[in-house]
């Protein structure tokens, strides 16, 4: 437009009024500047956090938040620095599971500081924004995607080995926004229960993940089976009336201990879905009423029972995830 | 669907196509244009839903100067191709590449619905 930065007499310019920006222009410039700063800070966050893992499911209530918090805690048990980002605006339940119910957002010099939950895991949740009179309205309602971007850009995570991102169910915009904002996401863990409806939906999420250019790290089958332990006479047979009128048989050992596993839903669907799609199966989590209690009283099952079956299942899943995100070459494929 | 897919063992980047070799010794070629037109990303996929936009996508893909892309493995199950221009977003599952090699519709005739949970 202007050939020279030096203003000479130019009638066209005079018609357009003064050279200094209008309030509208000024506002735009400020917005652009804030946008740019945010983008830079997201790049920086991207570099300070070694691994970023999204946790999604097709259906709601299948255990995303249970798996997200479980992965985070299991990684923390291994000695990693871990953060968890709860993107769920409508029903954020991560704080409760991490013993941070009622926690409020901590802002210092324009930066958001995460709360510290069990095992030192850093937590940021949309729940921290709710019911707070000082919370700017901009965080809520229809511009939630902007809020998410702002959220990601403004959090002071520090250096992390892992960031786990928990999503709300049944939507598609949040993962898209996050995958576009945060550079180098390692991939997505898809949670399903073994019911056919949940499996069908998890197939859709696998396709969805790929359309976002986020690799699928694998499928976790949650609420896979319920194990009952009991004591009876030594070396005797036990019969339990299982779901669907099926009789489940077991025998006790020489001390009289026995255990039977009830498949509350049909078992193995997570594995076959993964196989159908050629994505990894990361493992199964048993049905464990302790997760529900832990969610209610704020002490996660992994914290209250670090040696229990569920903790062991989680560490196996963590190992499977880590195998997927290691830098080893993918296969013996020759590319020339 | 029940058909067993062989493992892709070699990709050779040629002037205008990939030469693919599978572990059952079958060999195929897939042109860069065909592959790029079949991009599974969230931007390109919906364009294939309608004939008109699909044709536009095809024209766009064919307008790019032919060159060899870089090929990056994604996990153990897919490949990503980086081009000098246009879209490089798609994660191509080996199943998708197998479908293209066999001249089958990689979308299985189904329209794309963004985030269809
Ligand atoms: N393996 C399990 N055994 C028993 N209860 C479980 C298990 N996994 C999750 N639950 C319980 O199921 C309920 C839903 O789990 P959770 O909140 O993790 O699901 P979600 O997918 O995050 O739900 P939403 O879609 O609402 O975000 C919770 O009460 C949780 O305690
Ligand atoms: Mg949840």
Q: Judged by CB atoms within 8 Å, which residues 24-63 of B form the interface with A?
A: 40-42, 45
Interchain contact, B71 vs A335, CB within 8 Å: yes
Kind of pairing between the strands at B27-31 and B17-22? antiparallel
Note the pLDDT of residue A200. Answer: 60
Note the pLDDT of residue B86. Answer: 86
Which residue among A173, A210, A330 places its CB closest to the CB of B76? A330
Confidence band (pLDDT; 50, 70, 90) for A275? low
Domain A48-225+264-325 coded CATH 3.40.50.300: yes
Across all residues in chain A, what is the average pLDDT? 76
- Closest residue (by CA) to atom 6 of ligand 1? A291
Domain B8-101 coded CATH 1.10.10: no
Instruction: Decide which of B77 and B19 is more confident.
Output: B19
Of the given ranges (A2-16, A294-308, B54-68, B97-111), which has the lowest mean pLDDT? A2-16
Ligand 1 atom closest to A67 (CA): 18
Confidence band (pLDDT; 50, 70, 90) for B83? very high
Query: Residue A67 pLDDT > 80, yes or no?
Result: yes
A325 within 8 A of A217, measured Cβ to Cβ: yes
Q: Is the CB of A315 under 6 A from ligand 1?
A: no
Per residue in A120-160, pLDDT (tens digit) is 999 998 778 766 544 443 444 445 566 677 777 788 888 89
Q: Does A216 touch chain B (CB under 8 A)?
A: yes
Per residue in A178-229, pLDDT (tens digit) is 877 787 788 889 888 876 555 666 666 666 666 677 788 888 988 777 777 7
Query: Residue A175 pLDDT > 80, yes or no?
Result: no
Instruction: Decide which of B18 and B77 is more confident.
Output: B18
A274 within 8 A of A253, measured Cβ to Cβ: no
CA-based nearest residue to A173, from A201, A212, A137: A212
Instruction: Decide which of B66 and A102 is more confident.
Output: B66
Nearest ligand to the CA atom of A57: 1
* DSSP secondary structure letters along A211-257: HTT--EEEEEE-S--EEEEEE-STT-EEEEE-GGG-EEEEE--TTSE
The best mutation among A54, A59, A66 to test binding of ligand 1, ranked by most ligand atoms within 8 Å of the C-beta, falls on A66
Name chain B contacts of A202, Cβ cutoff 8 Å: none
Residues 6+ apart with CB under 8 A from A10: none
Choose, out of A172, A211, A279, A321, the residue to mutate when testing the contact with B (most B CBs < 10 Å): A211
Instruction: Decide which of A263 and A327 is more confident.
Output: A263
Note the pLDDT of residue B13. Answer: 94
Per residue in A73-118, pLDDT (tens digit) is 999 988 889 999 998 766 678 888 898 887 877 888 778 889 999 8
Q: Is the CB of A300 under 6 A from ligand 1?
A: no
- Ligand 2 centre distance from Cα of residue A251 (Å): 39
Note the pLDDT of residue A13. Answer: 47
Confidence band (pLDDT; 50, 70, 90) for B44? confident
B89 within 8 A of A213, measured Cβ to Cβ: yes
Each domain of chain A, given as residue ranges in start order, spans 48-225+264-325, 226-262
Q: What is the mean pLDDT of residues A25-39?
A: 76
Q: What is the mean pLDDT of residues A49-66?
A: 87
Note the pLDDT of residue B60. Answer: 92
Residues 6+ apart with CB under 8 A from B48: B37, B38, B54, B57, B107, B112
Q: Does B78 touch chain A (CB under 8 A)?
A: yes
């Amino acid at each position: 437009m202007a050939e020279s930065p030096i203003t000479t007499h130019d009638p066209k310019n005079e018609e357009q009024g003064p050279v200094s920006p209008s309030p509208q222009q000024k506002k735009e410039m400020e917005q652009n500047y804030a946008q740019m700063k945010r983008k830079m800070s997201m790049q920086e966050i991207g570099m300070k956090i070694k691994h970023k893992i999204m946790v999604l499911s097709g259906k709601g209530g299948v255990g995303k938040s249970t798996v997200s918090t479980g992965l985070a805690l299991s990684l923390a048990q291994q000695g990693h620095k871990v953060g968890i980002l709860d993107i769920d605006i409508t029903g954020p339940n991560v704080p409760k599971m991490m013993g941070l119910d009622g926690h409020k957002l901590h802002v210092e010099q324009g930066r958001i500081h995460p709360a510290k939950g069990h095992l030192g895991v850093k937590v940021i949740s949309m729940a921290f924004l709710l019911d707070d009179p000082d919370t700017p309205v901009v965080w809520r309602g229809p511009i939630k995607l902007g809020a998410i971007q702002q959220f990601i850009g403004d959090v002071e995570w520090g250096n992390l080995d892992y960031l786990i991102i928990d999503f709300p169910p049944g939507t598609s915009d949040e993962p898209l926004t996050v995958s576009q904002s945060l550079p180098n996401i390692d991939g997505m863990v898809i949670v399903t229960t073994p019911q056919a409806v949940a499996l069908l939906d998890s197939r859709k999420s696998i396709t969805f993940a790929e359309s976002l250019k986020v690799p699928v790290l694998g499928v976790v089958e949650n609420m896979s089976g319920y194990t009952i332990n009991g004591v009876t006479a030594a070396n005797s047979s036990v019969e339990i009336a299982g779901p669907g009128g099926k009789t489940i048989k077991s025998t006790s050992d020489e001390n009289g201990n026995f255990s039977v596993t009830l498949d509350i839903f049909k078992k193995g669907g997570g594995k076959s879905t993964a196989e159908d799609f050629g994505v990894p199966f990361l493992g199964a989590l048993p049905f464990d009423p302790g997760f529900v209690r832990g969610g209610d009283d704020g002490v996660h099952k992994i914290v209250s029972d670090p040696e229990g079956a569920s903790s062991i299942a989680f560490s196996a899943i963590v190992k499977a995830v880590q195998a997927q995100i290691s830098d080893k070459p993918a296969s013996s494929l020759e590319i020339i | 669907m029940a058909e067993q897919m062989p493992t892709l063992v070699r990709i050779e980047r040629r002037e205008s196509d990939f030469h693919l070799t599978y572990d059952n010794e079958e060999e195929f070629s897939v042109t860069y244009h065909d592959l790029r037109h079949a991009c599974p990303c969230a931007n390109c996929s919906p364009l294939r839903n309608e004939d008109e936009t699909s044709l536009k996508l095809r024209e766009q893909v064919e307008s790019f100067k032919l060159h060899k892309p870089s090929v990056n493995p994604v996990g153990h199950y897919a490949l990503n191709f980086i081009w000098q221009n246009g879209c490089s977003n798609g994660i191509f599952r080996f199943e998708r590449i197998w479908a293209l090699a066999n001249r089958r519709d990689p979308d299985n005739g189904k329209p794309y619905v963004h985030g269809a949970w």
